[in-house]
Structure 1
Amino acid sequence: MPIGISDEHTELAASVRKWAESQGSIAAIRAAETDSEALAPWGALAAELGLSAIALPESAGGGGGTLLDQAVAIEAAGYALVPGPLLTTAVAGLMYDDAELRAGIADGSITVGLGTSALAVVEAGRATHLSVPVAAGHVAVPVDQAEVRPGASVDLSRGVGEVVLGDVPNTDLPTYPKSGAPLELIVLAAAEASGIARWCLDTAVEYAKVREQFGQKIGAFQAVKHLCAEMLEISESVTAAAWDAAEAAEHGEEQALFAAGVAATICFDGAVEVAKSCIQVLGGIGFTYEHDAHFYLRRAIALRALVGDTGEAAAALSACARTGVRRSGEIDFGGLDEQFRADARAEAQRIAGLADDDRRAALAANGYLAPHWPAPYGLGAGPVQQLVIDQELQSADVERPDLVIGAWAAPTILEGGTDEQRERFIGPTLTGEITWCQLFSEPGAGSDLASLRMKAERTDGGWLLTGQKVWNSIAERADWGVCLARTDADAKPHAGISYFVVDMKSAGIDIRPLRELTGEALFNEVFFDNVFVPDDCVVGEINKGWRLAVTTLANERVAMAGSKLGDSVELAITLLDETRSPAAPEKVGRAIALAQVVKLLGTRSTLRSIAGQGPGAESSVAKLVGVRSRQDSAELAMELLGPEMFTRSERALAANDLFLRNRCLSIAGGTTQILRNVAGERILGLPRA
């Protein structure tokens, strides 16, 4: 999904891409190989459309838009590989609070070449003005007041040159008082990186759908499918980080710097990786000059060089986090929350005044425990109302109890069960009278649930279940379990499966603890020997249980992530003050950035729900990226502990436990490899093997 979420941003991005294609952006880049003037008109072309001045004040002739508006346009231009000084001119307009410079950018009479080093100023040879670093920050100089020495750029869509200023001749020149890569450059360059990554992903996927080898489409090969899925993970991460960097500009300097640090750490390396993978998927054709892919790889590598060392950006991000700065998850509801706010606040405060033992019953009675469930058990609440209730409960310091497996079992009964089953199970699940476990996985049917073997045989008044289930958390104390069993052995794998609710105190059930690598027994094996399940405990139709197993209510739960980055990342941040490793700040910064991206993917998915859009790729990608973040950060915390890892200090024990426990994350709920197959097929549309 692109940066823009709103309809207005979607339309803006589409119009920019359509314009670039109509002007022949790629054709102009190719023509520049033999015609040095082929790219010269592009500064004026972008200005004519107002692209360079979208976020400049209306008083200067600009569009009066936000930094996010400008980022949406730059991303679309990056997708179309618009050549020339669009990016650098738009950045300069935002950097320099100078009315004359901004007015010139808005009317197209001024274009700006820009560099973070005087040795490599992008578009120095064609721009009217040059933004160059000096001792006190940056300065914008008319090109006739500097010497430009032409350079050679790997990026064929933009020129580069060395700028020699000597003594700055005019003290009235526009100045930018901060050294290093300007925040405005990081934000808009990140947006361009998102466009590059997205084009590379789309191009690779479309090729994988049609290119045939060994008698089938190459997208059906697991190696290619996984590579494309990994490209999806990276490109969605790049987009989320770029979006937040632009969005954070409205929330103060601390928030803006933190978000820009995440973008600098994630976006430029990410764009390079996706561009390289695109050429890998394309194979030999991707290595030819005739294909456009190399132009995007060239732009990506040059863009990363322009903004500077991403390792330094990661280290700066860790330094920022050490001071306590975190990205807050504020939501602009656009007034949609007003109809729910007063009632939610009053009810949350009422519940807060109750004794702790009475709060759960009150939350269940008023529908606030699971507001997305239909009445009378919930409120049938949409995304906005759910989030408002979350906010008000949090403000009132009211914590919802965790339904654990009940949060999955109950919605399935609500969807496919009978009225009697709903009355029997849903209310007691909410009040805590019933605890659930899940009886799906088997020794030979983990991610491949369709191959399950537990059989259910018809008997008088019900069914007899025989077989083995495994990886069942809290089965030893659960009252009921949701169970899949095969009721038709001759049916196709996904057919012939029925969905049961099983009384865990039934005769014939043997629950055995299963000790894991943590040393604890969090899971169980459960053996069934002719366990009787009455007909009134079959959910839905016989042989139609697979649909219930893979679907939930359409009105799904939405939530906003908090500001915390996760236990392992937060521990790693505290250890920075004690470690002597010079590599630690960069490693921790990269862990912070990845953890923040996971939160951003969830936030963007929630905002799409608020906007009434279907779920995007973010929710699926968040699981894959989240697993990597949690596992890698747990390992990093162990590394930073050093010899303390061998002690029984509180944090050493916690770090050891997180490291070992998190190994299951890439297995539970579908292995990472299976989920990449699913992402490749269901999100990217790649063919099945």
Structure 2
Amino acid sequence: MSLGISDEHRELAGTLRKWAASLDPVTAVRAAEEDPSADFGDQWQAVVEMGLPGLAVPEAADGGGGSVLDLAVALEACAAELVPGPLLATAAASLLVPMLGPDLAAGEARMALGPEPTLATSGDRLTGHVEVVWDAPGATHFLLGADDDAWYVVPGRRVRVTARIAPDLTHRFGRVEVDASLAEVDRVHDLDTAALRRTLVALAAAEASGIARWCLAAAVEHARVREQFGKPIGSFQAIKHLCAEMLETCEAITAAAWDAASAPAGDQAAFAADVAGVIALDGAVKVAQDCIQVHGGIGFTFEHDAHLYLRRAMTLRSLLGTGDRHATALAARAIAGERRRVEIDFAGEDGPVRDEIRPLTAEIAALDPDRRVGALVDAGLYMPHWPAPYGLDASALEQLVIDDELAGAGVERPDIKIGAWAVPTILEHGSDAQRERFVRATLLGEITWCQLFSEPGAGSDLASLRTRAVRAEGGWRLTGQKVWTSLAQDADWAICLARTNPEAPQHKGISYFLLDMTSDGIDVRPLREMTGDALFNEVFLDDVFVPDEMVVGEVDNGWRLARTTLANERVAMAGAKLDVSVERAVRLSEGRPETHARTGHAVALATVCALLGVRSTLRSLAGQGPGAESSVAKLLGVRNRQDASELVVDLLGEQVASGSEEAAAAVHEALLTRCLSIAGGTTQVLRNVAAERILGLPR
């Protein structure tokens, strides 16, 4: 997977990966291992001929005219193959130093970069030294800063370079001494250290994504073929979980890198870069470490390539700062009220939809509040992605526009809760009579639903359920026990799975029933949870009769229907507001600098969780199926909510015992979120599923 989403970016990434691999870059890196002055000239010439240094240089300056995202896609692909040389520094210069655009595009300029402004201006001279300069050997131009935060392009003839070998063997660094007149150098106006570092972090995040992607792929491939105890190590749950966690981190890195390259200039770009600094730089190091762990002793050898990726990731982090450093800056932004607000460019395609929808939303907004729901249902705007006549069969673009127009008109759609799972199954698999009876009534709030799926012995392993349905005259009689059922005490109807054929394999012989919760033989018993509330219930079914017309779809085919229920989601955009606990943490951190690093990590993860949703939405707009980010969104979202709620309790400190309303709410949230890694499939089971279905590891 590439950080690019469009077909063009995916094609660009694939093409560049193949081209980069054809250069055999690792051989070049290993051959130059002990040469501090190695400039990887042959590799760099190939990069120039491919047009990468000028990819984002405007066409008017003889460049490729590409975007920052185009450049990030290219950097990700090249990093995945460990292409050596000054591409990162030169790419940054192509964005920051317009005067060099034509020379960079033509390959006549090769850039070195010193990220710390340590030179001095005295009179008409620029003097001093920069201890660490990226890609100094072989550079024709040096982008260096002075202690007054002025930045200069210094020609190579005016510097003296002492070359050094760094942990990252794909780059060379150097100590650079400068003694030049100001007339011999070019001042880069409108560039300061903050902008430079922001650009470097955004581009380094793209490289981090490429590093992490290679490490994940290498680990998975090894886990598939390496055998221990007579079977592939990828069949061991410990390895599955390790690889699934690598996948989670990779998706987070990719989302953050994509956003850092896509965000509009200004505060939004700065916020996105800080998120990328928190997520991508630490994340790439962790994934590279885990890659070595999966490979075991093989990965620890110098001959294996994994350490080269770890070295590159560690060096990027060392030069640009750990996650804590960026998290501290991000917390300050959040405290000041900044949030990442992602907007979609519909390229004008939303105009006709808005013209059609806006009058409808205005009419609905003008109605009395108690009449709005009925009007939304009649117009198909309540669940526009549902098929007509209950919805509009709305495309992804249409759904987003409808949401936007309703929000702009101040019209809210009440949450139908479990009905949003039940009704799509009825629409797709039910009879005309079932659709007539249940769909509109659910939308109007006349029928509420609960879900009778989980059992004491069938939670994440839903296919092992034991509730049985025995054929009776005119229908079925259900007997069994369901558990963890929310809303059961108030619901009018339930969607219920029961085994109709005990002789069939686990995933077969299950049927999907619509169960009237007022039926004889139903006993609902509230379960008091650790919060003190009784949100969930046990439901006992004792010979409960369900008529044949309340079976959805074919008998014994309920498992397929259950998957429809669990998978049905509409396309929507997340708002700019962070999770409730993260917002609380931001407020509690104000004036407490010692808490900023931890709070910034929470802000970054919450932002990335929203970005995963944005990327899924953009895939839908592009007509693509869901990517891996949709599969790991729950895993990362659970971690986000649990960690953030725990953070709030920690920030409150002794106030937790004060009995205040704020303390009670924080403790309640921290206790409540413990269910999130259990409900809807435990984190451990979901990691098994991700490892097997997405990564292809053996059972």
TM-score (norm 1): 0.96
Does the C-alpha gap of structure 1 residues 171 and 253 become closer, same or farther in structure 2, counting only changes over 3 Å? farther
CA distance in 2, matches of 1:604, 1:2: 12
Alpha-carbon offset, residue 597 of structure 1: 0.3
Q: Of the candidates 596, 600, 606, which is equivalent to residue 589 of structure 1?
A: 600
From 663, 685, 691, the equivalent of 1:674 is 685
**Stretches of structure 1 lacking an aligned partner (at least 5 in a row):** none
Deviates more, 1:456-465 or 1:648-657: 648-657
SS in 2 for 1:182: helix
**Cα distance in structure 2, aligned partners of 1:489 and 1:497:** 9
Partner of 2:448: 435
1:179 is matched with: 193
Per the alignment, residue 148 of structure 2 pairs with: 136
Letter in 2 for 1:267: A
**Cα shift at 1:364:** 1.1
C-alpha root-mean-square deviation of aligned residues, in Å?
1.6
- Given the superposition, is the C-alpha separation of residues 196 and 119 from structure 1 closer, same or farther in structure 2, using an over 3 Å criterion? same
Indicate the SS of the match to 1:157.
Answer: coil
Q: What secondary structure does 1:613 align onto?
A: coil
Following superposition, the deviation at residue 169 of structure 1 comes to 4.7
How far is the alpha carbon of 1:449 from its aligned partner? Answer: 0.9
Query: Which residue identity does 2:443 align to in structure 1?
Result: L
Separation in 2, partners of 1:553, 1:441: 12
Residue range with higher mean Cα deviation, 111-120 or 75-84: 111-120
CA shift in 2, pair 1:314/1:38, >3 Å: closer
Tell me which residue corresponds to 1:407.
420
Aligned position for 2:321: 308
- In the alignment, the residues of structure 2 paired with residue 140 and residue 224 of structure 1 have an alpha-carbon distance, to the nearest angstrom, of 49
Task: Pick one of 641, 656, 679 that aligns with 1:645.
Answer: 656
Retained in 2: the 8 A contact 1:380–1:555? no
* Structure 1 residue 34, shift from structure 2 partner: 6.1
Evaluate the alpha carbon distance shift between residue 37 and residue 328 of structure 1 in structure 2; reply closer, same or farther with a 3 A threshold. Answer: closer
- Hey, what does 1:110 align to over in structure 2? 109
Q: Match of 1:84?
A: 85
Say which is worse superposed, 421-430 or 56-65, in terms of deviation.
56-65
| Distance apart, 1:664 and its partner CA | 0.6
- Match of 1:583, SS? helix
CA–CA separation in structure 2 for the residues paired with 1:456 and 1:285: 54
- Over 3 Å counting, the alpha-carbon distance change for 1:168 and 1:190 in structure 2 is farther
State the partner residue of 1:203: 218
Task: Look up the match of 2:15.
Answer: 15
- Cα deviations across residues 393-428 of structure 1 (Å, max 9, x unaligned)? 011111111010000000111111111111111110
Q: Distance in 1 between matches of 2:279 and 2:207?
A: 13
Look up the match of 1:616: 627
663 and 296 in structure 1: CA distance in 2 versus 1, 3 angstrom threshold: same
In the alignment, is residue 256 of structure 1 matched against residue 269 of structure 2?
A: yes
- One-letter code aligned to 2:141: H
Is 1:380 the counterpart of 2:358 in the alignment?
A: no
C-alpha contact 2:484 2:538 (8 A) present in aligned 1: yes
Matches for 1:307-386 after TM superposition, within 5 Å:
307-386=320-399
> Structure 1: how far apart are the matches of 2:360 and 2:658?
47
Give the aligned partner of residue 234 of structure 2. 219
Q: Distance in 2 between matches of 1:674 and 1:131?
A: 50
Q: Comparing 472-481 with 163-172, which one deviates more in the overlay?
A: 163-172
Do the aligned partners of 2:422 and 2:565 also contact (CA within 8 Å) in 1? Answer: no
Contact 1:115–1:306, Cα closer than 8 Å, also in 2 = no
Shift of 1:59: 2.3
2-side partners of 1:570 and 1:615: how far apart?
29
Q: Report the more deviating stretch, 457-466 or 401-410.
A: 457-466
Deviation of 1:146 after TM superposition, in Å, equals: 1.7
Change (3 A) 1:355 1:114: same
Q: How far 1:182 moved relative to its partner?
A: 2.0
User: 2:490 is matched with which residue?
Assistant: 477
Report the alpha carbon displacement of residue 480 of structure 1 after superposing the two structures with TM.
0.2
Shift of 1:40: 2.3
Q: Which runs of no fewer than 5 residues in structure 2 stay unpaired?
A: 117-129
For residues 332 and 184 of structure 2, what CA distance do their matches in structure 1 show? 34
Contact 2:85-2:135 at 8 Å conserved across structures: yes
Moved more, 455-464 or 230-239: 455-464
Query: What is the distance in 2 between the residues matched to 1:601 and 1:551?
Result: 22
What is the distance in 1 between the residues matched to 2:674 and 2:562?
25
How many Å apart are 1:336 and its aligned residue?
A: 2.5
1:596-611 → structure 2 map (5 Å cutoff): 596-611=607-622
Q: Residues 295-325 of structure 1, C-alpha deviation per residue, up to 9 Å, x if partnerless?
A: 1111111111121233121111111111111
- Residues of 2 paired with 1:262 and 1:401: CA distance? 33
| TM-score, length-scaled by structure 2 | 0.95
- Matched letter for residue 215 of structure 1: G
* Matching of residue 237 in structure 1 with residue 252 in structure 2: yes
Instruction: Using the TM superposition, give the Cα deviation of residue 140 of structure 1 relative to its aligned residue in structure 2, in angstroms.
Output: 2.4
- Post-superposition CA distance 1:139-186 (Å, at most 9, x none): 321222122222230111111111222576547423364225522111
Matched letter for residue 59 of structure 1: A
2:358 aligned partner, one-letter code? R
Alignment check: 8 A CA contact 2:39 2:172 kept: no
In the TM superposition, residue 126 of structure 1 has moved relative to its aligned partner by 1.9
| Superposition deviation, residue 3 in structure 1 | 0.9
Amino acid at match of 1:382: S
Give me the whole-angstrom Cα distance separating, in 2, the residues matched to 1:83 and 1:454: 61
Distance in 2 between residues matched to 1:599 and 1:164, nearest whole Å:
45
Which has the higher mean CA deviation after the structures are superposed, 432-441 or 158-167?
158-167
Deviations 1:419-477, CA, capped at 9 Å, x for gaps? 11111111101111100000011111111111111111111111111111111111001
Instruction: Say whether the 8 Å CA contact 2:38–2:137 is kept in structure 1.
Output: no
> Of 446, 464, 476, which aligns to 1:463?
476
* 1:72-114 per-position Cα deviation (integer Å, ceiling 9, x unaligned): 11111111111000111110221223x2x22221111111112
Is residue 2:570 matched to residue 1:563? no
Q: What's the offset of the Cα at 1:635?
A: 0.6
Percent identity over paired residues:
58
C-alpha change, 1:168 and 1:633, in structure 2 (3 Å) is farther
| 3-state SS in 1 of match to 2:41 | coil
**Residue type of the partner of 1:191?**
A
